């Protein structure tokens, strides 16, 4: 949700910026919590501190030939707890209004406007957009630093989906399909997507499915589709966040390029209910802080963030074998 720069900030008064943050606090939190691109294809959990365990149930074969004996098979129901763990992170800024004298403020002065300019929204939009980019990247690529330090960024602090996926592949908890030739190419991508869909569990093929990938993979798909079907247009549509999705000929499914997966050759066939992320409470109105000092403002934000993959059985998620 975009913020409106419809308040004015007197450069001698930090109260205006503080008031803006307080007035739009719920909007800012919503933008932080659900505004990054991959949020649309995952399940959010708010109010998590530390760990929250989710238990998935695996159901074996149930129905057997009738007999008088009550003889249930052991292990028909299997329960597997998986923790959604969040890590504490922070954002800290110093804002010097004088820095705007020759840029943003200067342009408004040239137009004959006064000292009060509507730039709280511009500042906060820039901050929240950059925060969204870092959360989007961390959602997929975060990996804890081997030697944690205070200088670690989000991507060095928590655990992203690709990190969890490697663990699940090692324990055979997801279905892995080999990529012909060891690389995704224009010539093999369509067949690879078809093979992945065939490997997907029959019980999970109901409804619209999404293949999640990097923008680079999506470009290969566009080229592959045009090469194989030169006279048929590639069907695409824009999602709520403005990302272009490509309609696949494989099942009722779409190929969705996500910025956070940029540079990865991994393709993931999964439901929104499989990918999870947790953050602070959506109603935590004390998250944002602004204080005035002699010639600058301090803005800071403390929150928790983490991801996890939770699926009932390996057939519920299919991936290719590349990272």
Per residue, what are the HEC states of 2-13?
CCCCCCCECCCC
pLDDT value for 173: 93
Residue extents of the structural domains in the chain: 15-60+73-159+281-309, 176-276
State the CB neighbour count (10 A cutoff) for residue 207. Answer: 8
CB 46 within 8 A of CB 17: no
pLDDT value for 112: 47
Q: Is 277 helix (H, G, I), strand (E, B) or coil?
A: strand
| DSSP state string for 41-62 | GSEEEES--SEEEEEEEEE---
Architecture of domain 15-60+73-159+281-309: 2-Layer Sandwich (3.30)
| DSSP state string for 202-215 | GGG-SS-EEEEE-H
Query: CB-side exposure of 134: number of CA atoms within 13 Å?
Result: 18
Write out the chain's pLDDT in tens, 323 residues: 444 443 344 444 456 667 777 777 777 877 888 889 999 999 999 888 889 998 876 666 778 778 888 887 776 666 678 899 999 999 998 887 677 666 655 555 555 444 444 466 677 778 888 999 999 999 999 999 999 999 999 999 999 999 999 999 999 999 999 999 999 999 999 999 999 999 999 999 999 999 999 999 999 999 999 999 999 889 999 988 888 999 998 888 999 999 999 999 999 999 999 999 998 865 554 567 878 787 777 888 888 999 999 998 899 999 999 99
Going by C-alpha positions, the residue among 164, 140, 194 that lies closest to residue 320 is 194
- Tokens of residue 80, six digits: 């597997």
Euclidean distance between CA atoms 11 and 92, whole angstroms: 20
CB 162 within 8 A of CB 264: yes
pLDDT value for 117: 41
Q: How far is the CA of 45 from the CAs of 85, 148, 311, in angstroms?
A: 11, 26, 16
DSSP code, position 186: T
Across 101-133, b (16+ Cβ under 10 Å) vs e yields eeeebeebeeeeeeeebebbbebbbebbeebbe
Strand partners, 50: none
pLDDT value for 61: 73
pLDDT value for 2: 45
State the CB neighbour count (10 A cutoff) for residue 212. Answer: 25
Q: Is 90 exposed, middle or buried (0-12, 13-18, 19+ CB in 10 A)?
A: exposed
């Amino acid at each position: 949700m975009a913020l409106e720069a419809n308040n004015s900030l007197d450069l001698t008064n930090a109260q205006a910026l503080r008031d803006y943050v307080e007035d739009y606090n719920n909007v800012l939190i919503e933008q932080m919590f659900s505004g990054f691109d991959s949020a649309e294809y995952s399940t959010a959990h708010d109010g998590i501190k530390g760990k929250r365990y989710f238990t998935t149930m695996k159901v074996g074969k149930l129905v057997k030939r009738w007999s008088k004996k009550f003889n249930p098979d052991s292990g028909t129901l299997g329960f597997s707890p998986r923790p959604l763990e969040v890590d504490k992170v922070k954002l800290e800024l110093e804002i010097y209004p004088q820095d705007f004298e020759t840029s943003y403020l200067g342009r408004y002065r040239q137009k004959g406007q006064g000292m009060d300019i509507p730039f709280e929204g511009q500042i906060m939009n820039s901050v929240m957009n950059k925060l969204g980019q870092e959360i989007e990247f961390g959602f997929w690529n975060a990996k804890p630093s081997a030697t944690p330090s205070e200088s670690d960024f989000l991507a060095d602090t928590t655990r992203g989906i690709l990190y969890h996926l490697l663990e699940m592949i090692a324990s055979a908890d997801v279905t892995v399909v080999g990529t012909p030739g060891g690389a995704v190419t224009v010539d093999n991508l369509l067949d690879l997507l078809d093979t992945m869909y065939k490997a997907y569990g029959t019980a999970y093929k109901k409804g619209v499915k999404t293949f999640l990938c990097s923008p680079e993979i999506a470009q290969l798909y566009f080229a592959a589709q045009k090469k194989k079907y030169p006279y048929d247009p590639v069907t695409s549509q824009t999602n709520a966040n403005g990302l272009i999705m490509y309609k696949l000929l494989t099942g009722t499914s779409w190929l969705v390029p996500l910025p956070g997966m940029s540079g990865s050759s991994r393709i993931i066939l999964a439901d929104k209910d499989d990918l999870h992320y947790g953050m602070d409470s959506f109603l935590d109105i004390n998250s944002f802080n602004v204080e005035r000092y002699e010639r600058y403002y301090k803005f800071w934000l403390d929150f928790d963030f983490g991801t996890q993959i939770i699926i009932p059985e390996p057939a519920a998620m299919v991936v290719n074998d590349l990272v």
